[in-house]
Each structure stands twice: as C-alpha cells, then as structure tokens.
C-alpha cells in the first residue's frame, strides 16, 4: 500500500468498508479458474471519487504531496530520463500482446538500484536468474553477481516500459499506447475507477535490453552493469496498482462475458450493477471497446487476516478493472480489418466514436458484451462525477499524455493551415471533443429504470 497516495487510499478504503455487504471470496494457494469466479461475483468496479490538485493529477498516485522528495523515485514526467536493468518477462508469457514493451529493475543515474521504498542498493555486479515461480511460470530474479548459490534475492524496484518503433515521430501508430494509456489512466483516477499508474518518460536507458527486446523475445540478461544501455526515447513507464492480484494458475484475468451474465441473471447486487454501467459509461468517454479477458485484472482490496500456510485466505472485498487501456482514443478495426491493428491515438478515428449510438434511447456504442442500455442511476452517478470535470482539467491530462505530439496527421493539418500554434490547436481539438462526450452522458434520455 505504500505506493498509493493518501487521497487514493482514502477513497479505496472507504469504498471497501462502505460496501462490505458483498460476501468476499476464498483464495486458496493453488486456486482453480472455477474457484476464482466467486471473487468476480463479489467484486466492485467503482471507488469514491477523489479530489485531485493539478499537481497530483499530473504526477499520479505515486506522488506524495506531503513528501515530494521521498516519493520522487516512484513517479516520472516527460522530462525524466530513467535508468534500469532489463528483467526478462514477456518472452515467458503465452499471450504477451503486440505492444512493444519490457520490464526492468529501477536504477539510479550512477548505477545503483532502488529498493521498493527508495533505499539505494549498491552492487559491484548483478546477475539475472530464471526459475519457475509458485504458479509454475518462468520468472526472473535479481542477485548480486558474487552470490554463488543465489541465496539473497535483490528486491529492487521495477516497472514496465512501453516504447515506440520506429522512434518518434515516424513511429507506427499501433504503438500510440505510450500516449493513450497515460491519458486514459488519469481520466479513470479522476472519475473514481481503478487504473494502473502510467507515466510519460523522456527516455529510458536500459542495460541488457538490446535494440528491440520485445520483438526479439529476449529471455535472458547477461549484461554487466558497466555495459552501455540502449536508449528508448519518448515512452511510458507503468507501475501496477499495488493491491494483490487474485490468480488462478497464474491467470489474474476476468471476463466481460461473465460480468454481463452476473449483471443479467440476478447474481450481482443492485449496487454492483450500477458500478458496471457507470464503468461502461466512463470507458465510453475514451472509446474503450476491447472486451477481451487478457486485458483485465481482479484484485483484493482487503484481506480478512494474514496468510496462514496451508489455509485459504479470505478476501473481504475484491475489485475488477480493465488494466490495459492502451486501445483507446481510436476505433475498432471494422469488418475488413482482419490483418491490421485498430487505430488508437488517432483523432479522425476517435472523433466519430460517440458514447451512444442512440442517445435518445441511452444505447451504448461499445457495450463490452453487456446490454445496450445502462441504468438511469448509473447515468446519474456519472453526471455527478463529471460535474467535477472541466475543459481545463482534461486539457492538462492530454498535455501530460503528450497528445499534442501523438497524432502527427492532425498536427500537420494545423501546420498546413498556417495555425500559429499547431500543438495547442491539437490539444484544444481533443479537449473539445471529449467535453462533447461528457455532454452526451449528461443529456442522454430514457436510460433503464432502477
């Protein structure tokens, strides 16, 4: 929990306490997929809406306003040049996606490692050992080079980096997730929904990565700490929400199909249904349409007690959320787009993707496997939450995410027109369209009776 800012903690814990009427679920050591279903049945999607200052919103949940210096190693900005040591991970995954990414252990500019709470760990040399974790999956651990028997694992801070290919500005727009995830995560924080912590970075200098670790399926790191790093420019860095993932044989996902079933068959409480519809409305603002289980995660917000060997733990409150929001601010591929990627971070693709196909009937465009209509109470909740969202705040989010440089087609459009400040005009265009989406939710009619 140490990485969550106090304003987020307050919202999350008050939510977990206020809605303790859900029964919770058992989490045994070797959970089967069927045993995970009760955790999804008891889950919530919505937390209390936090009040964020512009600095908190820009710097994210790992920033501690009460002690900015102490938390500085945890969050990143677009001017930061971060250093790290490659951690093999995606080469071991059966479904690893297509985004160019890698994991790495966090290093200081002078070559030391950061511990999870910020302490400095000096090593003369390091080595990466690949072994199987408790779920039977291959996993990489860090040790001092002189630890012959691998007895003392170095628990260094780590994060995920997404990078562009080719480098900016001629990159493949399939990799615009380095921009879109930053904006999407902040919009979710702002509205009171869970999201991982995603930050812009000016560059990431990675020892042991090689020029393209994801495409090369890199499964080892034999590099010396003195080796020259590979520098990835204009990327993003991500830290997962610090709550424990609930896994079954290493699988921490949940299905939108299951969620829709629990909504319709009476399994979920009325409040859970409101959560579900409010979340679908929030995701409609950014046009998230990718309803695949591998993008989702189920987590435990509060355990009933400490872990006891050989006994199942009881999670008092579970939450489910879409943990990968990169495929946003674009549109679906369409009927004839079998071999391409859906556009993301494209204004011309996103601009027509309204929240509703029929606002007079309250029918969603991206249903995420659920009913077309949403509950009136969910609409009312979103109207209340969106009342705290103004154009200046949204524009600041898009600026933090670097939308002014993401879509080169739009930028060139304004430049060709002779617009005095093409980047500012692009930000205004994204912001104006987003605020139209807000108005859609506010004015939609004939949502479902409660």
In contact, 293 and 37? CB cutoff 8 Å: no
Q: How far is CA 24 from CA 153, 221, 264, 303, in A?
A: 34, 41, 20, 9
Question: Which pLDDT tens digit goes with each residue over 162-173?
Answer: 999 999 999 999
DSSP 31-73: --HHHHHHHHHT-B-B-PPP---HHHHHH-TT--TTSTTTTGG
In contact, 267 and 325? CB cutoff 8 Å: no
Least trusted range by pLDDT, from 219-233, 316-330, 337-351: 337-351
Collapsing DSSP to helix, strand or coil, 267 comes out as coil
What pLDDT is attached to residue 334? 67
What whole-number distance in Å separates Cα of residue 29 and Cα of residue 43? Answer: 20
Span 337-344, average pLDDT? 70
What pLDDT is attached to residue 340? 63
Evaluate if residue 152 carries a pLDDT over 80.
Answer: yes
What pLDDT is attached to residue 341? 77
Evaluate the omega torsion of the peptide bond into residue 41 and state whether it is cis, within 30 degrees of 0: no
What whole-number distance in Å separates Cα of residue 97 and Cα of residue 263? Answer: 29
Evaluate if residue 379 carries a pLDDT over 70.
Answer: yes
Angle, in degrees to the nearest 10, between helices 270-285 and 256-264: 140
pTM, two decimal places: 0.94
What pLDDT is attached to residue 22? 60
Q: How far is CA 84 from CA 7, 87, 104, 208, 414, in A?
A: 29, 9, 6, 9, 38
What pLDDT is attached to residue 16? 38
In contact, 242 and 2? CB cutoff 8 Å: yes
């Amino acid at each position: 929990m140490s990485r969550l800012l106090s304003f987020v903690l307050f919202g999350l814990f008050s939510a977990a306490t206020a809605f303790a009427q859900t029964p919770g679920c058992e989490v045994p050591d070797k959970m089967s997929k069927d045993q995970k279903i009760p955790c999804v049945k008891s889950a919530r999607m919505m937390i209390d809406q936090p009040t964020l200052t512009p600095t908190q919103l820009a710097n994210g949940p790992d920033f501690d306003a009460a002690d900015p210096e102490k938390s500085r190693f945890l969050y990143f900005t677009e001017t930061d040049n971060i250093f790290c040591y490659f951690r093999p991970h995606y080469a071991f995954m059966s479904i690893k996606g297509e985004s160019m990414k890698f994991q790495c252990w966090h290093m200081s500019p002078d070559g030391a490692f950061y511990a999870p709470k910020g302490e400095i760990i000096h090593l003369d040399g390091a080595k990466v050992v690949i072994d199987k974790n408790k779920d039977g999956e291959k996993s990489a651990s860090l040790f001092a080079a002189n630890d012959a028997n691998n007895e003392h694992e170095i628990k260094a801070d780590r994060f995920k980096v997404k990078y562009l290919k080719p480098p900016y500005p001629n990159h493949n727009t399939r990799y615009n997730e380095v921009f879109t995830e930053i904006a999407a995560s902040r919009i979710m924080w702002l509205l009171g929904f869970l999201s991982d912590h995603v930050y812009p970075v000016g560059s990431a200098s990675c020892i042991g990565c090689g020029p393209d670790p994801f495409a090369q399926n890199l499964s080892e790191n034999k590099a010396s700490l003195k080796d020259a790093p590979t520098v990835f420019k204009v990327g993003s860095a991500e830290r997962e929400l610090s709550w424990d993932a609930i896994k079954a044989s290493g699988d921490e996902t949940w299905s939108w199909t299951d969620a829709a079933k629990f909504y319709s068959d009476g399994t979920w409480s009325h409040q859970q249904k409101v959560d579900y519809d409010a979340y679908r409305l929030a995701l409609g603002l950014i046009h998230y349409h990718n309803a695949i289980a591998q993008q989702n995660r189920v987590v435990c917000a509060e355990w009933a007690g400490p872990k006891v060997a050989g006994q199942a733990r009881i999670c008092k409150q579970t939450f489910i959320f879409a943990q990968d929001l990169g495929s946003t601010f674009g549109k679906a591929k369409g009927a004839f787009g079998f071999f391409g990627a859906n556009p993301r971070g494209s204004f011309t693709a996103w601009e027509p993707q309204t929240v509703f196909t029929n606002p007079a009937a309250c029918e969603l465009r991206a249903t995420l496997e659920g009913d077309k209509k949403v509950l009136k109470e969910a609409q009312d909740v979103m109207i209340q939450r969106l009342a705290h969202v103004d154009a200046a705040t949204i524009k600041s989010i898009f600026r933090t995410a670097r939308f002014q440089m993401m879509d080169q087609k739009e930028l060139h459009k304004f430049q060709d027109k002779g617009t005095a400040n093409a980047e500012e005009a692009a930000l205004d265009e994204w912001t104006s369209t987003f605020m139209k989406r807000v108005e859609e939710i506010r004015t939609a009619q004939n949502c479902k009776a409660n």
